[in-house]
Amino acid sequence: MKNKQTIIIIGGGISGLFCGAILSKEGYDVQVFEQHYKIGGGLHNFKREGVDFETGMHIIGTFHEGGVMNKICSWLGIMDKLSILPSNDDCFELFQIGSDGKTYRYAKGRERFEETLSADFPEERANIKRYVQAIYDIVKEAKQFNLEAGDLSIRHSPNFMSSVGDFINSFTENEKLRAVLALSNPLYGGDQYHTPAYIHSIISTLYIDSAARFVGGSQQLADALVEVILQSGGKVFIRNGVKRIEIKDKAIAYIETADNRQHTADWYISTIHPSSLFKLMDTSKIQRSYWKRLDSIPNSYSAFTVYIIFNQGMFPYLNYTGYYINDYSQVWQLCEYQAETFPGGMMYLTPPVTATDRFAQKMIVNCIMPFSAVKKWENTTVGKRGEEYNEFKKRCEQQIIDKMEKLYPDIRSCIKSVYSASPLTIRDFYNQKEGALYGVKKDCENMMRSYISVRTKLKNLLMSGQNINLHGIVGTPLTALNTCGELLGMEYLLNKINKKQI
């Protein structure tokens, strides 16, 4: 039965589309407004020379049978529309260290993961086993990640909220092992002293259990979610972002979109960065301490990304995610930008075009970069940043390829074309303050400062997106569930999703 309540969703990224699909399926009248020409946010694919590139969701997890995303997507009726390729069992992540030439591998599956690491550090076998047990124990405490009722406000074990650096260091004195256990921190914006251990544990275990990739790009998930919304009678608008929000009596009276039309609804859900949201409204009508706090939360770091197109049949397809770092000691310092030595580390992968690729069509190389590196151009817009900025990008591209050449000496001869994106690109595309890859920075030293409730000080406005609670391919949909649970009832929603698997 059609629910008579109407919902307007500001932003058509991952969280906006999951909110729209869930609420549409439950009978709400949904409208999604997205400012860009293509829907999807971090799921969005773009083309260069006819080649599709993903903008954000390069590595995925829990889409396997019984996994969290499998359950959610099965309940929405879209799981069979997704083409997914598991990463290598014996190596889903490969780490290369410049200083000593060592290579380490993360193997899939808890036992295999322990054994592979123990082969590299035989004297640390017992410590590795204790570490793995600890990250899985922490994940059991993360109720939402297990599709169980509960939030981060309940009491947890000491490890749950300890800093990721203290957590890892508590298991071993071996500096190299400490670094190897922390090497994938760019996947969650890791900060040694501030990132809570539960974020490290969730990200680590979901890939240990089920690291995979979309075959043909992540746009397929965005398109499938749009289809759920449309089939349920909802509407999705592109190139028509919200440009103004009118507030009256501590509630949203209406929104005005880029086409100068006004739209009203019973409920509004914002999935954009809080700072971007507040720019759309008269903040004098909101409690000052509230919006000032949200606007002042520090953001996670950004990245410089290189998109490479290979000549056909020249570079092998790699069914794992590769990481490079100059030295073990730099594992927590990758965001400390120095132009001459950039990049200190890299994450690279070759996205699959088909499930049987022998050669790579393309490569994506991600390098952490703080917004300060591009701050001098912060008041420019896409395509109008000037020649100095273009030279900066070209220099960064070549420095990154120089580092890749140390790993693959023949890579330059394989390259057909190179494109790139800076933190400014991320800022402008995602409408994300300072181009933050993972939204606002979570701080175990002051969790209340970085905590943003889905409820707001406006009676009919809810929030969702990567700035609220968790980020990423699993965290953002779970945050969408949390937001929708405010309207549907969380227990009701979780029961529906979990019973789909019975």
More confident position, 184 or 102: 102
More confident position, 146 or 461: 461
- Coil vs helix vs strand at 309: strand
Residue 152 has pLDDT above 80, yes or no: no
Distance, CA of 36 to CA of 48 (rounded, Å): 17
By CB atoms closer than 10 A (0-12, 13-18, 19+), residue 111 is exposed
- Coil vs helix vs strand at 82: coil
Distance, CA of 66 to CA of 248 (rounded, Å): 45
Rounded mean pLDDT, 14-28: 96
Rounded mean pLDDT, 217-229: 97
**Nearest one of 77, 207, 44 to 500, comparing CA atoms:** 77
By CB atoms closer than 10 A (0-12, 13-18, 19+), residue 374 is buried
Residue 11 falls in which region: left (phi positive, over 0), alpha (psi -120 to 50) or beta: left
Report how far Cα 217 is from the mean position of its chain's Cα atoms.
15
**Mean pLDDT score across all residues of the chain:** 93
More confident position, 103 or 58: 103
Which residue do the tokens 């914006």 mark?
189
Rounded mean pLDDT, 65-82: 96
**Nearest one of 346, 432, 470 to 61, comparing CA atoms:** 470
Instruction: Work out whether strand 45-48 and strand 262-263 pair parallel, antiparallel, or are unpaired.
Output: unpaired
Residue 442 has pLDDT above 90, yes or no: no
Which tokens belong to 165? 């650096």
The hierarchical CATH code for the domain 6-55+65-74+217-297+446-499 is 3.50.50.60
Q: pLDDT tens, 227-245? A: 999 999 999 999 999 999 9
More confident position, 446 or 402: 402
Predicted pLDDT of residue 154:
55
| DSSP letters spanning 382-443 | TT-S-HHHHHHHHHHHHHHHHHHHHHSTTHHHHEEEEEEE-HHHHHHHHT-GGG-TTSBPP-
Express as a percent the part of the chain with pLDDT over 70.
98
Q: pLDDT tens, 167-176? A: 999 999 999 9
Direct distance between the N- and C-terminal alpha carbons of the chain, in angstroms, rounded to an integer: 24
Predicted pLDDT of residue 374:
96
Predicted pLDDT of residue 410:
95
Rounded mean pLDDT, 203-226: 96
Query: Any residues with CB less than 8 A from the CB of 430 and at least 6 apart, and which?
Result: 13, 41, 42
Predicted pLDDT of residue 155:
61
Predicted pLDDT of residue 156:
78
Distance, CA of 361 to CA of 411 (rounded, Å): 13
Predicted pLDDT of residue 502:
41
Of these ranges, 40-49, 437-446, 464-473, the one predicted with the greatest mean pLDDT is: 40-49
Q: pLDDT tens, 351-405? A: 999 999 999 999 999 999 999 999 999 999 988 999 999 999 999 999 999 999 9
pLDDT confidence of 501, banded at 50, 70, 90? very low
pLDDT confidence of 3, banded at 50, 70, 90? low
Rounded mean pLDDT, 315-333: 95
Amino acid at 279: K
Cα→Cα distances 262→39, 135, 274, Å: 21, 48, 21
- In SS3 terms, 315-366 reads as CECCCCEEEEECCHHHCCCCCCCCCCCCCCEEEEECCCCCCCCCECCEEEEE
**Nearest one of 254, 249, 251 to 10, comparing CA atoms:** 254
The model's pTM is 0.94
Residue 293 has pLDDT above 90, yes or no: no
Predicted pLDDT of residue 151:
55
Which tokens belong to 140? 């059991």
User: Rg for the chain (alpha carbons), in Å?
Assistant: 22
Query: What is the domain partition of the chain in residue ranges?
Result: 6-55+65-74+217-297+446-499, 88-210, 301-435
Least confident range from 151-155, 335-339, 365-369: namely 151-155
**Nearest one of 145, 139, 116, 141 to 129, comparing CA atoms:** 116
Distance, CA of 156 to CA of 164 (rounded, Å): 15
Predicted pLDDT of residue 23:
97
Residue 166 has pLDDT above 90, yes or no: yes
Residue 189 falls in which region: left (phi positive, over 0), alpha (psi -120 to 50) or beta: left
- Coil vs helix vs strand at 148: coil
